[in-house]
Amino acid sequence: MDARAQKKISVLVVDDSALVRQLLADMISNDPELEVAGLARNGVEAIKLMQELDPAVITMDIHMPELDGLSALEYIMKKSPRPVVMLSALVRQGAVPTLKALELGAVDFIAKPSQFPTSVSLIGEEVVAKIKAAAGVQVRMVQERERRAKPPRKLKLNKEGLEGGKVVVLGASAGGPKALAELLPAMPEDLPARMVIVQHMPGPFSGPFAKRLNYKSRMTVRQAADEEVLKEGEALVVPGDSDMVFEKVHEGRIRSRLLPTVARHGASPVIDVTMESAARVFGDRTIGVLLTGMGSDGAMGLGMIRDAGGYTIAQDEATSMVFGMPKAAIDMELASEVLPIDRIAERVVSLL
């Protein structure tokens, strides 16, 4: 038997519901690469078992008695950093604490369906995939890089030679909220381009996410609506249950259209759809940026942008929490340039 078969990814499951703990444990145990290290009912038990069992990954519910998931996560990230995947209710009220968890260092989150646990089969594949992706994240190194990082330099525009009429499409998945919270604040408020953010995220979460980015940024950031004309100096977040495409209207104006997403659960909005449409409508005036994330969404989109004469950027491995999406584009040689997250904003501005 080889070493890989012997060494499974150990997972500590933390949830105040005995039924949910058992359902998650069954999903994990049914995968040959995973094993359940232990079960905890609250944050206090989670911390105790983490110290005793040293699991590779922790799944953590947010709302629990005695010590909630956010408090436990904060303690873990300070004392013994390791990959944590949060569980959140798929309702708007669950968005704010979930986004806070990502800022504290959680790798990703899983949104429980509204009929959970009766519809638990809907998220089984997602649970396993996100645990495996999280296991590959060097959380201690991520925390150390962020501790050493300087505040983002607020970029200013050199007005001479500016060329308007461009669009910047940013695509991200796991690790994206953290990366975007670093990239957006560096952008000038008078950016001479339209900007669209395609972050894999459930529908109820994208509105609060846009508000948090807007609070941190000098640009106006808001959730996109259907059939609105894109404006320069504004960043639109695609709603999580839609895919965004573009269409030309009279007098050369371009507006957005929101369509029902073609994605499977957990991977919407689809980055490729928006990038392909941008390449078709804006052509060589398109800049595509692919950030951290699991899977390969956005890789083909970058290729379409480059084929149309646009410019493409992929985040580098060292600063990507999950290198899946950028790696797919880099391996297919679809990225014009590979950059760390702290240099992407400056490069985008220089391209304008």
What does the pLDDT look like over 342-351, one tens digit per residue? 999 999 999 9
Name residue 322's amino acid: V
Kindly tell me if the per-residue pLDDT of 119 is higher than 70: no
Is-contact 271 244, C-beta < 8 A? no
Domain match, 171 and 274 both: yes
Asked if pLDDT for residue 243 goes beyond 90, the answer is yes
d(CA 41, CA 59): 12
What residues make up the domain containing 221? 166-351
Mean pLDDT of the region 23-31: 93
**Of 123 and 127, more confident:** 127
- Nearest by Cα to 352 from 316, 311, 314: 311
- pLDDT > 70: what percent of the chain? 88
Question: Count of domains in the chain?
Answer: 2
pLDDT of residue 173: 95
pLDDT tens, position by position, 155-202: 665 655 555 589 999 999 999 999 999 999 999 988 889 999 999 999
**Do 270 and 126 have their domain in common?**
no
| Mean pLDDT computed over 209-221 | 95
Q: Return the residue matching tokens 């584009």.
A: 329
Distance CA 168, CA 347 (A): 12
* Total residue count of the chain as it appears in this document: 352
Q: Give me the pLDDT at residue 4, please.
A: 47
My answer on whether 124 and 175 are in the same domain is no
- Alpha carbon 351 to chain centroid distance? 24
The pLDDT value given to residue 5: 54
Final residue in a domain of this structure, among 81, 111, 146: 146
**pTM flag (> 0.95):** no
Is position 261 within any domain?
Answer: yes
Provide the CB-side half-sphere exposure for 93 (13 A, CA): 4
Instruction: Report pLDDT for 1.
Output: 42
Identify whether residues 141 and 172 lie together within a single domain.
Answer: no
> Does 307 lie in the same domain as 172?
yes
| Domain shared by 20 and 116, yes or no | yes
The enclosing domain of 183 has a CATH number of 3.40.50.180
Looking at 116, 146, 176, the residue that finishes a domain is 146
Q: Residue 40 pLDDT > 70, yes or no?
A: yes
Region 324-328: mean pLDDT is 96
Q: Is residue 327 part of a domain?
A: yes
**Is the domain of 247 the same as that of 122?**
no
Domain of residue 35, CATH code: 3.40.50.2300
> 184 and 113 in one domain?
no
Q: Among the three residues 146, 175, 198, which one is the final residue of a domain in this structure? A: 146
At residue 90, the pLDDT reads 63
334 vs 117, higher pLDDT: 334
Stretch 320-326: mean pLDDT:
95
In a domain, residue 329? The reply is yes
60/199 same-domain check: no
Label residue 308 by pLDDT band (50, 70, 90).
very high
Judge if 311 and 223 occupy the same domain.
yes
Q: How confident is the model at residue 111 (pLDDT cuts 50, 70, 90)?
A: confident
DSSP assignments along 66-88, one per residue: SS-HHHHHHHHHHHS---EEEEE
Could you tell me if 88 and 136 lie in one domain?
Answer: yes
How does pLDDT run across 83-95, given as a tens digit for each residue? 999 998 765 667 8
Report the distance separating Cα 294 and Cα 73, nearest Å.
22
Confidence band for 123, pLDDT divided at 50, 70 and 90:
confident
| Residue at 161 is within a domain | no
Catalytic residues: 173, 200, 297
141 and 41 co-located in one domain:
yes
pLDDT band at 31; cut points 50, 70, 90: very high
Q: Does residue 156 sit within a domain? A: no
**pLDDT (average), residues 54-71:** 94
Report yes or no on 151 lying in a domain: no
Residue 55 lies in a domain: yes
Q: What is the mean pLDDT of residues 242-252?
A: 87
